[in-house]
Amino acid sequence: MSESAKELQSLLDVVNEYGRNFGVKFSSEKSKVIIVNITEDDRNATWRQGENELEQTSEYKYLGMCMSSNGCGKAKAEKISQVNQWVGRLRSVARMRASKYDVLREVWKSVAVPRIMYGMDVIAWNESEIEILKVGQNRVARMALNAPRYVATEGLRGDMGWSTFRERHSKAINT
């Protein structure tokens, strides 16, 4: 990340020098440049990392998250959609199980949450987006506990032994 085209090229030169010194090769096929707030000069710029020319793109996928010059709205929408899909899947599973508490708790905690959390730490989330993820988790907890809508969310989390998505996201960023 840089503030100017000149600074970006300087950083690419530093990375290239590091690669030469430590025997690391960078793939020009996997490396791309995304420019936010593009100017006419930047649009026609040629980006080089050593002897390799880097392609300028408007969208790039990193850790399964799609980043673009407009932000990460598409990736966030996919994560929110995943939560809703998992709620639906688990609702279907819950109908067929005698011990739905155990099944829903373990599948959510060991399969759904890691799938949803993968790559979340590479984009910034605001409170309203995290709240949407929290609502999905609360819906799963209500299904598992047969809890009515007026039961406090803290009670649901306590009985299920789950962290909030905000806590999980903070841990992922700080480790």
Span 87-140, pLDDT tens digits: 999 999 888 878 899 999 999 999 999 999 988 888 888 899 999 999 999 999
pTM for the full model?
A: 0.70
Written as one letter, the residue type at 114 is P
Span 55-89, pLDDT tens digits: 888 888 877 778 887 777 888 899 999 999 999 99
State how beta strands 59-62 and 65-68 pair: antiparallel
Confirm if 63 and 119 have CB atoms less than 8 A apart.
Answer: yes
**Tokens found for residue 131:** 């709240």
Q: 33 - beta bridge partners?
A: 56
